Amino acid sequence: MFFIETERLSLTPFKLEDLRDYFPIISDDDVKRYVPYASAYTLDTARKHLLVYEKGDFVNDFYIAIRLKKSSKIIGSIIAVRISQNALDISYLIDKEYRCKGYLTEAFTGFINYLNSKSINCYLLLSIENDNTASTIVAKKYNSFIFQELYNSKVYAIKIGSKPVKLIV
């Protein structure tokens, strides 16, 4: 079973019971600004997200709840979906109350360590809007490079694993 512990966090699969805790995060307007496809306007929409998240196989699709270790409170998520044999599309979000405190970096490092422990060789692709300075800083912490430039954003690539892999999307 997928479970990662870091200093302050537990990274776990989602459960439908997480609905009431996760809904305020993904329905927040500030979250919807940068991650509109992971947002929800109603409890029913959030429920539909969680039903998909529960089906993640943690090989090709990772739907990860970021929880505070001490209380199990959900403070965010990492979603990684395989888009090719060698690439996972990553999105993440953190409740605004917990931003700029190193939680995302800690969770992301835990996830990368997990991928490395499973000898997964791939690229993580992060689409980051040009004005999202915090996410750009996170991407640069992992020796990312700009894979593609779009109108309002850049796609950063982070190499995972020790074996050479060609980035094909």
Per-residue pLDDT tens over the stretch 108-120: 999 999 999 988 8
Confidence of residue 87 (pLDDT cuts 50, 70, 90): very high
| DSSP 3-state percent helix, strand, coil across the chain (nearest 5) | 35, 35, 35
Domain boundaries, the chain: 4-120
Region for residue 2 given its phi and psi (left: phi exceeds 0; alpha: psi -120 to 50; beta: otherwise): beta
* Per-residue pLDDT band at 155 (split at 50, 70, 90): very high
**30-52 residue pLDDT tens:** 776 766 556 677 788 888 888 88
Q: How do residues 1-10 score in pLDDT, each as one tens digit?
A: 688 999 999 9
Architecture in CATH for domain 4-120: 3-Layer(aba) Sandwich (3.40)
pTM beyond cutoff 0.75: yes
